[in-house]
Amino acid sequence: MRNLTLLPVIACAILLTGCTGSSNKLSKQEAADGWELLFDGKNLDQWRLYNGEGTGSWGAVKGCLTADGTGSDSTGYIVTRKEYSSFDLTFDWKIAPGGNSGVMYHVVESERFHTPYVTGPEYQLIDDTGWPGTLEEWQKTGADYAMYLPDTTKKRLMPAGEWNSSRILFDNGHVEYWLNGEQLLSFEAWTPEWFALKNSGKWAGAPEYGLASTGLISLQDHGSRVWFRDMKIKRLPEKESKPIQLFNGTDLSGWTAYGTEKWYVEDSLLVCESGPEKEYGYLATDKYYKDFDLTADFRQISDGNSGIFFRSVIEGTKISGWQVEVAPKNHDTGGIYESYGRGWLEQIPDEKEDILKPGDWNTIRIKVVGPQVTTWLNGQEMVSLNDSVIGRADGRIALQIHSGGGIKVQWKNLIIKPL
């Protein structure tokens, strides 16, 4: 939304109310229950600029975490220094007349993303009645911005300049938004309904929106003053993950193809094959997988220059991420290649080239935990790499067809165990 210039006298009057007293503290019971403060009323040690350092337009003023209103759609975002997966987040907030802000979560940082909202869902904060223009329901306070609408019968929003209390609950994909003690909405992330909403509205042109299951919390300075206090978060236990079949043997459900190369199912096998343009092509999961243990069987019918990308971000046929190589003999199957910048990070020893069985079925295994990546081919370890850049990333699993034409590879038994 566009910015709004505020009268300085109004902003100053609101600011003077402060956040002193019992704000920004944990009770003994809260501390014992695992709650932590994201702001202590004194400093922003737990926050920094998105894709940067410092805190920009944000500061601690009279016990409030506050933005000075100089941000815009492309600037003015701070993020937590820690990542959170399942959590319970509570916070008090108020906004200047005509103001606009938001709280985002599961935000992914990358040079490919210039703002948090292209990856992180947002609990919308706005002056519903004082905004100088028409607001759609999906733009109003308490909405899961451009996705799910709040229940207006339960919505009690205090006027601009007065304090509200909000809560975001994300529990293993179950999501709830609360306002002033009332639950406004709930939904399940990554269901067919969720993907239908994502792909039919504002986020249809933002392929990475909402896919991450872990990430940063972000606050928005959208060109108006906003204040926060009592911002507390509690990590919730992750459900024990079970192995997931990424390919169902019938169709490409759960995957999206990028480029014009061929991806199809034949005899219960997933097949990648070069098309007439002989260019790069990718088949990527619709979900992110950060830490995981993945196994897959492949057979190189002709050529075989393919691979499995992990923690990858893709747009068109431009991919950012890391590839575990699947290639003809003597071309480092099981090695790790970075698709931008550094190239090969770890090639396999020459004596391991004979582990590949050309024209026959092979099993590749990839285990990624934080910065550590280990690969195996047919039960034998190929490489083990610890890389801090990989450790900070998140993204999809993607199969590749290399450019050049003449490639055909069959895949089956793609099983991933989230860790």
Q: Looking at the structure, do residues 248 and 231 belong to the same domain, yes or no?
A: no
Q: Which residues contact 196 (CB under 8 A, 6 or more apart)?
A: none
Of 186, 215, 235, which residue sits at a domain end?
Answer: 235
Q: In this structure, is residue 2 part of a structural domain?
A: no
Q: Looking at the structure, do residues 249 and 231 belong to the same domain, yes or no?
A: no
Q: Looking at the structure, do residues 230 and 248 belong to the same domain, yes or no?
A: no
Q: Which residue has the tokens 């047919």?
A: 378
Residue 8 in this model has a pLDDT that exceeds 60: no
Contact 345, 361 (CB under 8 A): no
353: helix, strand or coil: helix
- Give the model confidence (pLDDT) of 235-259 as tens digits: 999 998 899 999 999 999 999 999 9
Q: Looking at the structure, do residues 399 and 254 belong to the same domain, yes or no?
A: yes
Q: In this structure, is residue 102 part of a structural domain?
A: yes
Q: In this structure, is residue 3 part of a structural domain?
A: no
Closest residue by Cα to residue 186 from 172, 201, 169? 169
- Give the model confidence (pLDDT) of 291-316 as tens digits: 999 999 999 999 889 999 999 998 88
CATH of the domain at 188: 2.60.120.560
- Give the model confidence (pLDDT) of 387-408 as tens digits: 999 999 999 999 999 999 999 9
Number of C-beta neighbours around residue 188 at 10 A: 12
- As a whole number of angstroms, the distance between CA 168 and CA 146 comes to 16
Angle at 354 between CA 353 and CA 355, to 5 degrees: 90
Q: Looking at the structure, do residues 271 and 160 belong to the same domain, yes or no?
A: no
- As a whole number of angstroms, the distance between CA 370 and CA 83 comes to 12
Contact 258, 317 (CB under 8 A): yes
- As a whole number of angstroms, the distance between CA 116 and CA 190 comes to 19
Q: In this structure, is residue 370 part of a structural domain?
A: yes
Contact 59, 79 (CB under 8 A): no
Q: Looking at the structure, do residues 148 and 266 belong to the same domain, yes or no?
A: no
Contact 159, 143 (CB under 8 A): no
DSSP secondary structure of 234-299: EE-PPPPP--EES--SSS-TTEEEESSSEEEEETTEEEEE--TT---EEEEEEEE-SSEEEEEEEE
Q: Looking at the structure, do residues 139 and 101 belong to the same domain, yes or no?
A: yes
Q: Looking at the structure, do residues 61 and 180 belong to the same domain, yes or no?
A: yes
Q: Looking at the structure, do residues 294 and 383 belong to the same domain, yes or no?
A: yes
- As a whole number of angstroms, the distance between CA 286 and CA 174 comes to 18
Of 210, 235, 260, which residue sits at a domain end?
Answer: 235
Distances in Å between the Cα of 224 and the Cα atoms of 57, 66, 69, 221, 333 are 11, 10, 4, 7, 53
- Give the model confidence (pLDDT) of 34-83 as tens digits: 999 999 999 999 999 999 999 999 999 999 999 999 999 999 999 999 99
Residue 15 in this model has a pLDDT that exceeds 60: no
| Per-residue confidence (pLDDT) for residue 20, from 0 to 100 | 60
Work out how many domains the chain is built from and give that number.
Answer: 2
- As a whole number of angstroms, the distance between CA 91 and CA 82 comes to 17
List the domain range (segments joined by +) for residue 324: 244-418
Residue 16 in this model has a pLDDT that exceeds 90: no
Of 218, 235, 252, which residue sits at a domain end?
Answer: 235
Closest residue by Cα to residue 293 from 223, 209, 363? 363
Average pLDDT, the chain: 93
- As a whole number of angstroms, the distance between CA 418 and CA 293 comes to 7
Q: Looking at the structure, do residues 221 and 275 belong to the same domain, yes or no?
A: no
Q: Looking at the structure, do residues 260 and 363 belong to the same domain, yes or no?
A: yes
Q: In this structure, is residue 207 part of a structural domain?
A: yes
Hey, what amino acid is at 279? E
Stretch 330-342: mean pLDDT: 94
Q: Looking at the structure, do residues 215 and 253 belong to the same domain, yes or no?
A: no
